[in-house]
Every structure is written in structure tokens, then in C-alpha cells.
Chain A
Amino acid sequence: MNCQTTEIKKGIKFHFIDTKNFKTNLYAIFLATPLKRETVTIDALLTAILRRGCKEMPSQEIISKKLEEMYGASFDCGIEKSGDNHVIKFYLEALSEEFLPQKEELTKKCIEILFNIVFNPLIENESFKEEYILGEKENLKQIIEGKIDNKGKYALDRCIEEMFKNEPYGLYKYGYVEDIDKITGKDLYRRYKELIETCKIDIFCSGTVEKEKMITLIEENEIMQNLKERTANYKVNNEKTEAKKSEKENVIEDHMQVNQGKLVLGLNIAIANNDARFATSVYNAILGGGANSKLFQNVREKESLAYTAGSNYNRQKNCIFIRCGIEINNYEKALNTTKKQLEDMKQGNFTDKDIENAKNLIIESVKSITAEQDTEITYYYGQELAEEKTTIQEYEEKIRAITKEQVVEIANNASINTIYFLRD
């Protein structure tokens, strides 16, 4: 299992993952551009408008019918933050040809559909279709306002917003309601052209298609031939660029009509050496990675304070988020128990068995990457953006080699940046 990369032209790469694990082939195009307050909303709006139709297939209905004819191929697009980049993702999933009831050629169609939607939009008078712009503006407002709907996710987003105030990563990926109305059709088209000419473009294919055939299909595609070479404009984030120490704990409390309180702690990690991320992964797994972790064992099992209690490591930004869903009155108790775990980590109050368990957990999850097509694509894309290549084999070796001293060192360089609490 591996991922082979070919440069189609400067700034545009094709990544091929050869796998027989699936009934489907998955094709994807990712566009990466630096996250900025000025463009975050317009980029989210653009993504939604592109989805509505392109020159060849001018409406969603036409696109959907075409995909349904291809045995329920499915198109999807979305927008993500990856470190300080705004990444626009387009996916098309279709059955492998060997599982069709009748023989049919789908690969070429898939590439054409994807390229058309992303690079050959429906343009009228230097603008997108007015009806689509108006409709998607309204939708985007609803999506942004909808961030309150999932309280757990909302609490995490708010913690990130506070922790990265006035920094790109603190921006909300769908942008801001107050920006929407003033965006004009001309602005959108201008931004679209700028984005397509400057962004980093990565094309992925995972499945049973032949690599050479894919490259030929891409290179001979007229739309691809018309794309310009570029010095791709995007941000490289990794543990070396993002090592930070927090000087004081920023305490934030929001009120909403909730039955359960959501406690989120954002931690910075201040070690910039090469393999720090592997040690940080182990640190995070011991602290809050699973049922054996300190947070799960103490906050949930021993003190019965929560149903959810754990932590996640965000590698691109080199920070850890601790999350617990708790009884609102137990805020102090849960916070103290959480802090006690951080202190124990600093003191090295964990066993060799804890380290072993944590390593097993990480290695298992890394080995499982190949079990899902989009997860595998996301893994390699993350490496592409961080400008590094670690095979799954190497990853395992690096994790195995982490010592207790390295984990304690991470613990002593972890500092609480933000304590966020969502309550009634």
C-alpha cells in the first residue's frame, strides 16, 4: 500500500492510491489557499455555487440525474480548515466497473464531471448565475447560524476561536454572516479566477483504476490543459512552525439553553524538534486517547462526572483539545480533576503499561487508515500540506521508539491556553 505522486504541471499534482479493498473508486480534487478573514466567506460561498451547476451541466438536477445513471455515483463537496489553509474539497465516488450489472466505462466520465464542476463553471456576464448566488447566500447564512445546533461541536469551535483570536486558524470555515450581503457576482467571479490560478491543486484517485490510464485521462483533458502553471500559494504548518507556550490561562464562559455543560480546554505544545509530534501523539493518547486514558478513567469511571471525556491532538496547529460533557454544577470538580491529570503527566505518574497501551492505540489507528478510502486520501493530503512523507511503516517505528522521558518532556511543555465552558 502506498501513494504515488505525479506532477501534472507546476502546482498541480496527481496522487494515486492503488487498492483492492473497495467496491468503489474515489476521485477527489482539493484546492488549498491561505485562510484569511477577507476571503473565508467568499470561498465558502463559491464552493456552494460551483456545486449548483457548471457550463456542461447547468443545474443540480442534471448533475444528479447523470450520477444516478452511473449506478448511484455520488458527488460531494465541502470546505475544511487544514492548519492555516482553507481547503475546498470535491469528491466523486463511483462503483468499480467490475461490480456493475452491465459493462460500462465510468472512470472517464467521473474525471470529466469533476473537472467540469470545479474548473468550467457556469458564467454569465462575468458573474455566476444570479439565482444561484442569491440562493446560496441564504443557505450559507443558515449554515453559519446553524453552528449552534450541535452543542459539543459548537463548544469546540468557540474554544478554537478564542484560542486563535486574530489568527487565521481562529476563523470559522464557513465565514461570517455580516460579510455575505456585500459580496457581488463580480466579486465572486474575480475571486474564483484568482483562486483557480493561484491555489494548490491536488487530484486524488483511490481504487482499482490503472495509474497510467488515469494520468493519460487527466493530461489529455482539455480543461486540465487550459489550467495555468502556478507557484501554489498555501501555508505549510507542522510542529516546527507551531511550537508555542501559553503565558496565561484564558477563561471563557458562554451561556445557552443546555442540559449538559461542555468543558473544552485548549493546550499549546512548545517543543519544536523533529519527532515531537510522535511523542505528542503518545502524550495525548495517555492523557485522553481512549478508555484507558487518564481522562476517561478519572473523569468518567472513577468520579462518574461525564459520559464523554477525552482529548484530541491537532497536529497541524500542534495543540491538544480536551473535551468533557458534564453536569453543569460539577464544573469546578471536573476542571480540577482534569488539571490533576495534566499535573500527573508532568510528574511522570504513568506506567510503562500506559505507554505501551497508548502506542498500541495509535499504531492500530494508523494501520486502519487503509480501511477507508477518504481517510487514506486525507492522510496523504495532510502529509502533502505539511511537506513531509512518512509511510505507515515508518510511522509505526517512530511511535514504537518514543520513550517515557520524551512524553514527560512534552507534558512539561504543554500549557493551558484556553478554558472554555458552555453552560445554561
Chain B
Amino acid sequence: MKIIESSRIKEKAYIEKLENGLTVIIIPKENTNKKYIIWGTHFGSIDNRFIMPKTQEEVFIPDGVAHFLEHKMFEQKNGTNSLDTLMALGIDANAYTTNDHTAYLFECTNNFYEGLDELMDYVQNPYFTDENVEKEKGIIGQEIKMYDDDPGWQLYMNAMDCMYKENPIKIDIAGSVESISEITPDVLYKCYNTFYHPSNMVMVVCGDFKPEDLLEEIKKRLIPKESQSEIKRIYPEVEKTINKPYKEVEMEVSTPIFAIGFKDIESLKENRSEIVRKHIAIEILLNLLIGKSSDLYKELYESGELLEEPSLDYEFSDEYSHILISGQSKNPKKIQEKLENKIEELKKGLIQEDFERIKKKVYGDYVIEYNSVGDIARMFLADKMKQINSFDYIEEYDTVTKEYTEEVLKNVFKKENIILSVVKSKVTK
């Protein structure tokens, strides 16, 4: 197995690409009784159009299939449900779907190998029938309605709508009640057979393990599969401009919530370590702009325009890339205006002392990610889906200079790429 390590935080990861194409990453943690495993496929809500490697058939699927498939994987041919089986072992099991991947996971202190039996069995053995697919539509319909009432989720979806015209990141991960009504066992099997091939999957395990022994246990449980050539995914062309600068909706919230977005159109597909450096620089910039110790945050908080520090995110893949600053304010437009001014001010040059201090903070933020086996495993999986080695965030940290960060500021925080999404309050009695 290939070993990568970070001496600074005293962690190692063992990586192996198996013959069938599956990538296994094991991060041993000696001092914990908790074990965490996550098995992900590079299939998310944005993968809605692709060519099946075997038949060369082009498939265009309804919105929400990746997520629907995630729900249905637990159902077994013998009538049992794997979630129940795992829970009965005292194992906390779950699954989730994101824009670019779907993941099946469990965590436990006991019965790890019994859990591994079940996990590897159900992920490798789909069982979809007309009846069980129909039944799920009611449950997912309620999940969709739960998100319909979630102002934060609506805010995010509208921000995506502002930034992108055609990009599938605009699609709600769960789809809509209408789109999921079109889902059939046939669609699910097509997607399963395409995307749940080991060569399109990554397994990450974190806990007190001997990596070689664990790898053998994993291999034993793999079902042989014919090799598969690369899946051709079809996405719309990367858009160079935003869709619209502003969108608002009304919902029953006490104070409006807002998301200010910066669409990042600079593509870094080729250079992975550059992506990490850029990510670190953006984290530093966001903190300098409107983080807890910034002048702007102080001003906005003291004037009552911000209730607490906004959340700062940078989301990216090969198909999309954007920054989101979101929070709660009576006057979101004013926040945007002040933020724009602050950006112009920072573009004249960052203050060395502030830069060094925030850099230290960002270092701490990365190290804290290694506090829990779950966080570590999820991070390695999500990064691997983007071809990134998670340790690079710790290792590349030193190479991010003030000058480099200033350059990123100029390239990414452009006035013409700003959008604002707002959920206004509408209080009914």
C-alpha cells in the first residue's frame, strides 16, 4: 500500500487501488474506540446525462435519481432492510447524496466486521421493484417538503440559480415531487450499473486498524465484476458569466437571510496542488474580509446589521466553483455594498500582520478537522472525489504567501461575478 503522511499532525494514510479499480484509503487511529467507514461512488445530483460504457447508450435521467438510488440501496431481496440490520447490531449507519457523490457509511465501537459484511453486501446487491420504488416516492416526497420549509436550503438553491444558467448544480439533490414520479426500477438499474462500478468508487476507513489486515478483509468481500471503461459524463459548457445578480423569495422567517456569492470562473482542472493553495488563500481572504476580527464584521455587528458572523464557504468541482457568504440581516443589500467596498480596499494590498494572524487561524481550522474519525473519513472521501490529497491542506499551507493571496483576491473576487440571494420575511398570523 502507498503511504502518505503529515508529520506535522502525526497522521498517516494508506492508499491502495485494487485490481478491479476500487480505491481504498485507510487512516489508522490508535487512541480511539470508534471506527468509521464510508463507501462513496462518484455519482451525484449533477450527473444527469452520461453515456453507459457497456452499451454506449446515452442516458438522460430525471432530477433526483442519485438520491433516490441512495434510499433504495438499503432494501434487500430477502425482504430485510440493511439499515435495520446494521442498527440491530448497534451500528449507527447512514447514507447521503451530494452534488458530486453518494456515500454509504457506518460508525461503531463493536461489531465492525459484521457491519462490513452488511455494508459490502447491500452496496453490491441492488434490488429494485415497481412496488418498492413506488413506496419510496411517499417518503422522499416528505423529505422534499421538509426542505421546502427550510429557508437555508431555499436560499442556497436560489444562489445557485443566480450564478448558473444551465449547470446541473441548480438541480435540487432530492429532485422534485414531479421529477421523482418518473423514476422506475429500469432507470435505477442503469445508473447503478454505470456508477456503482468499483473503478468509480472510493472506500475510506478510519479507526484503530492494521491497514494490511483490513485491506484483506475488504478484498474478501468484493464481488468480481467485469472491468469497465471510463464513464463519459455530459455537462453543459462552463458558463463564463453569472445568470442573474439578484433573487429574493418570501418565507416565514423572523429576519431575512442572505447569501452573497462569487462565481469563480477560473478553471484549475489541470493542477491539483494549485487548487489546494487557492482554497487556502480563499479561506484566508474570507476571514480577512468579514471574519470575526475584521473591521467590516465589527462595523456590521455593532450597527446591528449582522446578528452573528456569517458562514463562509468555498464549493468547487470541475463543473462549478463559487464562494458563498451567508448570514442573517435586516439589510442584505447594504452588506453586499459594504463588502464590495472592503474588497476594493483589500485589493490595494493586504496588511502583513493581519495576513499572518489569519494564516495561523486557518492552520488551526485544518488541524481541528482531524479530531473525529467521521470528519477525517468524510474529508478524505470528498477530497478524493476531486482528486485531492487531504494532507495537502496542512502541507501546502506554508507556501501560501501574502503576494499569492493578493493575486487570488484579484482573480476571484470580481465585481461582475457577485450575486445576492435573499429570503425575506413574511410573517403570517
Contact = CB atoms under 8 A, between A and B. Distances in A.
Contacts of B110: 364, 367
Contact of B304 (A69, A135, A361, A364): A135
B142 A306 contact: yes
A95 B428 contact: no
Residue from A61, A68, A259 with most neighbouring chain B CB atoms (10 Å): A68
Interface residues of B, number: 63
A420 to B, nearest CB: 17
A305 B140 CA distance: 10
- 4 smallest A-B Cβ distances: which pairs? A72-B364, A360-B90, A304-B138, A72-B361
Contacts of A325: 142, 145-146
B87 A361 contact: yes
Contact of B357 (A69, A357, A359, A370): A69
A372 B149 contact: no
Interface in A47-98: 59-61, 64-65, 67-73, 93-95, 98
A59 B360 CA distance: 21
A143 interface: yes
B229 interface: no
A67 B360 CA distance: 10
Interface string B118-154: 0000000000000000010011111101101101000
Nearest to A1: B33
Contacts of A22: 371
Given A99-B10, A291-B87, A60 B81 contact: no
Contact of A368 (B9, B109, B146): B109
Contacts of B214: none
Contacts of A67: 361
A371 B32 contact: yes
B29 to A, nearest CB: 8
Contacts of B292: 60, 64, 68
Interface stretch (B162-170, B187-195, B252-260): B252-260
Contacts of A152: 146
Contacts of B87: 290-292, 357, 361
B334 interface: no
A249 interface: no
B145 A260 contact: yes
A307 B140 CA distance: 7
Interface of A: 19-24, 59-61, 64-65, 67-73, 93-95, 98-99, 101, 131, 135, 138-139, 142-143, 145-149, 151-152, 256-260, 290-292, 297, 300-301, 304-308, 325-327, 353, 356-357, 359-361, 363-365, 367-368, 370-373
Contacts of B251: 257
Given A70-B364, A370-B33, 6 more contacts: A71-B360, A71-B363, A260-B145, A290-B87, A364-B92, A371-B372
24 contacts: A21-B371, A24-B367, A60-B292, A61-B298, A68-B361, A70-B364, A71-B364, A72-B362, A131-B302, A138-B304, A142-B307, A147-B254, A151-B149, A291-B83, A305-B142, A307-B140, A307-B146, A326-B142, A327-B141, A327-B145, A353-B88, A364-B90, A368-B109, A371-B33
Nearest to B151: A149
A362 to B, nearest CB: 8
Contacts of A361: 87, 90
A371 B373 contact: yes
Residue from A64, A139, A359 with most neighbouring chain B CB atoms (10 Å): A64
A68 B293 contact: yes
A135 B84 CA distance: 50
Contacts of B143: 307
Given A146-B255, A259-B145, A371-B372, A292 B31 contact: no
A213 B420 CA distance: 51
Nearest to B373: A371
B367 A95 contact: yes
Interface string B360-381: 1111110110111100000000
B253 A99 contact: no
B8 interface: yes
A150 B315 CA distance: 24
A292 B142 CA distance: 20
